Amino acid sequence: MIIVLIGYMASGKTSIGKKLKDKLNYNFIDLDDLIEEKEDMSVTNVFKTKGEVYFRKQEAYYLKEVLKSKEDIILSVGGGTPCYSNNMNTILEAPHVKSIYLKATIPTLAEKLLRKKAKRPLIAHIKTLEEMTEFIGKHLFERISFYNQAEIHVSIDGKEKDDIIEDILLELF
């Protein structure tokens, strides 16, 4: 089985994915890391030098490649992945795939992202919690219809990673 973790920035897709991998003895793939490895440059540099259209084409291509695998994999995708190139349908139509939306409220995301914004070019310019909250609200509104298509929804608000893992396992098995 391939478990695809989707959700907004800072929802814990990578950190939860790595812990879930250990719990289930699955392989772990972060789609952005895979793209960086295959393109031999950071996602930021792919955007800068080749543009978003190129990045989204590569993202869709590598997503399809991973979903063809017969291995047990936890796949963490970028926050925008489900929203482009019919990727959400690709995920939902794959026969041995379960999609999980790591769902968080805007206040939870804003607080987490304000602390981590330096590592995220999309939000590095945002200075206050109010600005971050407004940005996420608008952005999440555009993406929520894609995220909500996931087969399983797990709330992360106010939970430790181990509790989130437990919720995921209860939903899966």
- pTM of the prediction? 0.94
**Over 70: is that where the pLDDT of 115 sits?**
yes
Torsion sign (Cα): 63, 108, 144, 50: negative
Tell me the binding residues. Answer: 10-15, 32, 56, 79, 120, 143
Tell me the binding residues for ATP. Answer: 10-15, 120
Tell me the binding residues for Mg(2+). Answer: 14
By the 8 A CB rule, do 77 and 100 touch? no
* Best CA proximity match to 58, nearest among 74, 45, 72, 69: 45
> Does 44 or 117 have the greater pLDDT score?
44
**Over 70: is that where the pLDDT of 165 sits?**
yes
The reported pLDDT for the residue numbered 151 is 98
Give the integer Cα–Cα distance in Å for 159 and 138.
Answer: 25
User: In the numeric block, which tokens belong to residue 58?
Assistant: 């590569």
Q: What is the pLDDT of residues 31-71, one digit of tens each?
A: 999 999 999 999 888 888 998 899 999 999 999 999 999 99
The reported pLDDT for the residue numbered 73 is 98
> Does 123 or 5 have the greater pLDDT score?
5
Residue 130, CA distances (Å) to 27, 70, 71, 91, 156 in order: 38, 45, 43, 34, 21
Mean per-residue pLDDT over the chain, rounded: 94
Per domain, the residue ranges of the chain are 2-172
Give the number of other Cβ atoms within 10 Å of residue 23's Cβ: 14
Tell me the binding residues for substrate. Answer: 32, 56, 79, 143
Topology of the domain comprising 2-172: Rossmann fold (3.40.50)
Q: What percent of the chain has pLDDT over 90?
A: 86
User: In the numeric block, which tokens belong to residue 168?
Assistant: 């995921």
User: In the numeric block, which tokens belong to residue 7?
Assistant: 């959700």
